[in-house]
Amino acid sequence: MGRRNWLACIKFPFRTIRLIGFVVWLFASSHAAHRLCAQETKDPSLLASDSLANLSLEELMNLQVTSVSKKPETLSTAAAAIFVITREDIRRSGVTSIADALRMVPGLDVARIDANKWAISARGFSDRFSNKLLVMIDGRSVYTTLFSGVFWDMQDLILEDVERIEVIRGPGAALWGANAVNGVINIITRHAKETQGGLITTQTGTEEQIGEARWGGQIGEDLYYRVFAKSFYRDDFKSVDGGDAADEWKAQQAGFRIDLDATLQDAIMLEGGLIAGGAGTTYLLAEPYPPYTVRRDENDSFFNANLLARWTHTYSDDSDFSLQVYYDRFQRGMFIYDEDRDMADLDFQHRFSPMENHELIWGLGYRLNSDSIRDGFNAQFDPDDRTTNLFSAFVQDDITLTPDRLFFNLGSKFEHNDYSGFEVQPSARLSFVPVKDHTFWIAVSRAVRTPSRYEQDAQIHLHSYPPGTAENPLPLPLFFTPRGDESFDSEKELAYELGYRCAAASWITLDVAAFYNRYNDLLTAEPYPLEYYTDPTPYYLVPLRADNLLSGESYGVETAAEIQVTSWQRLRLAYSFEDVQLHRDSKSEGFIFEGFEKRNPRHQVSLRSMMDLTRSLELDAWFRWVDELPGVVSGYATMDVRLGWRPDDNLELSAGVMNSFDPSHQEFVSTLVDMVPSEVERSFYLKATWRF
């Protein structure tokens, strides 16, 4: 099958990371001791500006966000169920991946399948290959058109360079387009001006070893840059059937960002990066000869390179335009198939005020996708190569009905793709601010999830049944095989949302969102007549063709509260409830993905405590309880604890335990591609960060 391993030319001694980390740890500790002995007591105001004590709840409510309306606006008045994860949140949580950081978001379903795979979704339909959630990094879409989802093991950053993560639960298709059905995740990195000087981070522990280095500098008065490199190794978890799983995860990456403030009106940003690595998987593969199902430990290889450029020109406070272009090269080598993909994207948007109380934003976009797939028996694509075009336009009018009180937002996205043709995705949002720091909002939106290569071109041999059994009385092996169909159309959603966000007092904020979504034309797998094959040996096959014969609804509520208990302790509480109900069309005779009703927890609770014990000592704890997935996974509770010491602005030492309650617990079971899931293990870590 022409499988390639890009790690073959990258021989990094991962096992030496522990030793490197220990040496750097000793050096950092001695450096801290020397600094403490040599200086007088430092004023707490000289600590990092984003420390817990210096960032009030009012400042958090007034954070600037851009994902709701493609323009800066305050979090408190945004007419959407939006949650912001700040750089300080990430630092004090102890997480080491973007995927695990997303557990902070109320209503977002994040479950770990094994050491390198996650199932992440919003408001239902969770799976490893979740396809109703749009994910971007600095405006660059990070998904594969193969299944309209995200390979989370390829999305890795130096978390210190993340400015914030804006997460919208609910449709964002009116601005961001198809596949922003149940949510949008926008990861925004820091301006190069904010990352001047050096950074070295090392982390070692029972499960992970991480090394990071970054340098930022300035050329002239207006050009800032940073370059970075990162390497990590994550040990395998415990297999659900006993012993160690074959799911270790390792990668190396490097990249840069350049920011040029060319004039008072013009800003140019250029960034790029590459990552290469491997992620282990234990497959359960169907075969047409004994023993008919085979267990194989394999290492999936991946490589990604990307380059993004953006030019922003500002005419005035209420008028600007931006032009963005990026290129993405994606390669993934799996045992069942290999994928090469090239994506080029061009995006233009213009904001202006055509008349009083109206702010208009419009834009145009074009995306080219070209892929090549080398397949085998278990996964087959016809054609092997495919190039697709996506043309898009959007328009949005922000109307001020009553100054500082009542606002109306009306807009729509218009797209044409090569799978389902022309799509229209409108949205209307109304927000009301009766008094300062209290916002009510309501929204109605339509979104679509366009077909992917999988639903139109793929054939996946999932399960084989031996001959002469109760499941298969035939004399030859029998396969039930999902197969794409060119008639498969877009999945459609009509979403109703309402919410309330407030600073009830100087010491507490509250955010509540409720939703009701109706879905039509969801994916089903319809059986067709029995087929006979002789290659590589005789067997029977029942094709299950993709069709749109499922409907349903989901509903729920998501709440988040932040409490300043004392000047040195803050609590963050989140609770969410969601339910999904699916209904088979009377014309359907086949398999449907009813399992999605049971693949999201109905209840989730999160409680974070962040304490500044002294001016330099931090104690953080994060408790989570996740309800069961009926018939799939039991509910579980866990807690992460972190102790951090910041003797000065340049040095930070921390130690912690993750998933402290149990030695291990299972969180999810993947579908589509059969694999042995793992149990997330308890782990301990030591971390040192030195800025210079």
Pick the CATH number of 6-691 from 2.40.170.20, 3.40.50.620, 2.40.50.140, 1.10.275.10: 2.40.170.20
User: Pick from 120, 94, 96: which is nearest to 108 by CA?
Assistant: 120
- Cα–Cα distance between 610 and 89 in angstroms, integer? 10
pLDDT at 204: 96
User: Pick from 6, 314, 303, 269: which is nearest to 140 by CA?
Assistant: 269
CA 401 to chain centre: 35
User: What one-character DSSP code corresponds to residue 404?
Assistant: T
In the chain (692 residues long), the average pLDDT of successive 10-residue segments reads: 42 40 40 39 35 63 85 88 94 95 96 93 89 93 87 94 95 88 95 96 96 96 96 93 88 97 94 96 89 90 97 94 96 90 96 94 96 90 94 96 95 95 96 94 96 91 88 92 93 97 92 97 91 93 92 96 94 96 86 68 96 95 95 92 95 96 92 83 97 95
- Cα–Cα distance between 255 and 273 in angstroms, integer? 4
Global pTM reads: 0.90
Residue 600 corresponds to which tokens in the numbers above?
Answer: 């999201």
pLDDT at 592: 55
- Cα–Cα distance between 448 and 454 in angstroms, integer? 17
pLDDT at 33: 39
User: What one-character DSSP code corresponds to residue 317?
Assistant: T
Local structure of 200: helix, strand or coil: strand
- Cα–Cα distance between 435 and 406 in angstroms, integer? 11
- Cα–Cα distance between 206 and 464 in angstroms, integer? 38
- Cα–Cα distance between 653 and 67 in angstroms, integer? 34
- Cα–Cα distance between 215 and 200 in angstroms, integer? 9
Which residue stretches of 329-383 are H helix?
none
Assess contact for 470 and 480: CB atoms under 8 A. no
How many residues appear in the chain? 692
User: What one-character DSSP code corresponds to residue 42?
Assistant: P
pLDDT at 144: 84
Which residue stretches of 139-189 are H helix?
173-176
pLDDT at 48: 37
Q: What residue segments make up the domains of the chain, in order of their start?
A: 6-691
Q: Produce one character per residue of 234-270: b if its CB has 16 or more CB atoms within 10 Å, e if not.
A: bbbbbbeeeeebbbbbbbbbebebbbbeeeeeebbbb
pLDDT at 60: 78
User: Pick from 525, 533, 526: which is nearest to 478 by CA?
Assistant: 533
User: Pick from 421, 345, 337, 332: which is nearest to 384 by CA?
Assistant: 337
pLDDT at 55: 63
Instruction: For residue 540, count other CB atoms closer than 10 A to its CB.
Output: 18
Phi first, then psi, for residue 57 (nearest 5°) are: -65, -35
- Cα–Cα distance between 413 and 425 in angstroms, integer? 5
Assess contact for 288 and 464: CB atoms under 8 A. yes
User: Pick from 383, 304, 380, 382: which is nearest to 340 by CA?
Assistant: 304
pLDDT at 594: 52
- Cα–Cα distance between 458 and 435 in angstroms, integer? 55
User: What one-character DSSP code corresponds to residue 477?
Assistant: -
pLDDT at 22: 40
Peptide bond into 536 cis (omega under 30): yes
